[in-house]
Amino acid sequence: MRLEPLNLYELEAHAAKFISPHAWAFIEGGAQDEVTVKRNRSALEAITLRPRFLQDIEHRDLSTTVLGEKISFPVMVAPAGGHMMAHPEGELATARGAGAAETLMVLATGSHYSMEEVADASSGPLWFQLYHRNHDTSEMLVKRAEQAGYKAIAVTVDTPINSPIERSIRHGSERPRGFNPGNFVGEEAGLGLVADTLDALYYQAPFTIPLTWGELGWLRQQTSLPIVLKGIRTAEDAYQAVEHGVEGVWVSNHGARQLDGTLSTIEMLPEIVEAVKGRAEIYLDSGIRRGSDVIKALSLGAQAVLVGRPLFWGLAWNGADGVRLMLEILRHEVDLVLGHCGHTSVQTLNPEVVNTPKPTW
Ligand SMILES: Cc1cc2nc3c(=O)[nH]c(=O)nc-3n(C[C@H](O)[C@H](O)[C@H](O)COP(=O)(O)O)c2cc1C
């Protein structure tokens, strides 16, 4: 008999036994020495909470909105290619789990199921994550996302060059093969591709049109959906983002999978909040594992946070129900910490809730 996991780390330990070593290395790994993987955690842990008591906290409301969509608590599911590595129902199960927890899922360009199949399976709001490689493909993806009811386009900006995950390479190859790249095969894609050719054409090919600030103008003309930039790491880029009129700035270091030796995202957040000045919503991911992490990020200015690797742990536990369980564990922890900090709404959190250590860099 297996015990119900008490926290996300127990879920992770369980998943390690059920996902193949090859896929596990790809999911868990980070860039090079994985210094920033550790820093994403250690920097969150170094921030401490300032509990406040003797307040009436009986009725607590965890709900918030992201770009006008209501979510039941401020944790969403980040985009990650290839959910079938953890469960045969892949992104369909993840979407069902996120929907059951009444929160939002972001579907990756490299999903195993197509965006239309995922939209059909989902009861919650969805965003579409875009890797911009060339105009034809981006136009095809964005138009389909709009048609299928996705609520925003999250453009990933932090992968100008594909970055190897060394421990994944040591396990055989960078990206586990043999799954259907759902958004590129089938009639909707109109590309006449099969999976094998896709891998060479899309994932391994150089970007034919580099994603630049100028390209954002082109993208804006293709869609009426709000645009979120995923992977912003500095005040300078955050400032440029709002100057270019984006609706959301997503502070992410891709779970430290692309470039080692950067700050953690929680360390980057304050300068980005300062640069954005309320002109766009701000989200944060990379290393969120506890409800206290969520409270810390919201206190420092994030509207909501996202989890990446934990979605695979939930899927490995029990498909859609496992994803829901993973989110419910976080919800329970967010609620507990919120009450201890003397707040009844996640929307009133502010920097006074936390002690932030002085920067050591
Ligand atoms: C296996 C895996 C695949 C990912 N694929 C993508 C992707 O296709 N596009 C993207 O923007 N981010 C991708 N990410 C990054 C996540 O969206 C997110 O930024 C990151 O996982 C958050 O950190 P965490 O895993 O520590 O929660 C991927 C992450 C993992 C673990």
Q: Is 132 annotated in the active site?
A: no
Within-domain flag for 348: no
Domain of 287, in residue numbers: 8-342
> Average pLDDT of the chain?
93
pLDDT of 261 higher than 90? yes
Within-domain flag for 38: yes
* pLDDT at residue number 134: 87
Distance 86 CA to ligand 1 centre (A): 14
* pLDDT at residue number 192: 65
pLDDT of 189 higher than 90? no
d(C-alpha 228, C-alpha 248), whole Å: 4
Mutate to test the pocket of ligand 1, among 254, 293, 311 (most ligand atoms within 8 A of CB): 254
Domain holding 144: CATH number? Answer: 3.20.20.70
d(C-alpha 174, C-alpha 158), whole Å: 18
* pLDDT at residue number 199: 56
pLDDT of 291 higher than 90? yes
Within-domain flag for 159: yes
Catalytic residue among 244, 254, 340, 343: 254
Report how far apart the first and last C-alpha atoms of the chain are (Å, whole number).
Answer: 47
Judged by DSSP in three states, 48 sits in: strand
Percent of the chain with pLDDT over 70: 93
Within-domain flag for 133: yes
- Is residue 179 very low, low, confident or very high in pLDDT (cuts 50, 70, 90)? low
Q: Pocket around ligand 1: residues whose beta carbon is below 6 Å from it? A: 26-27, 78-81, 108, 110, 129, 156, 230, 252, 254-255, 257, 285-288, 307-309
Within-domain flag for 359: no
Within-domain flag for 199: yes
Number of domains in the chain: 1
Strands 354-355 and 48-49, sheet pairing:
antiparallel
Within-domain flag for 353: no
pLDDT of 347 higher than 80? yes
Within-domain flag for 358: no
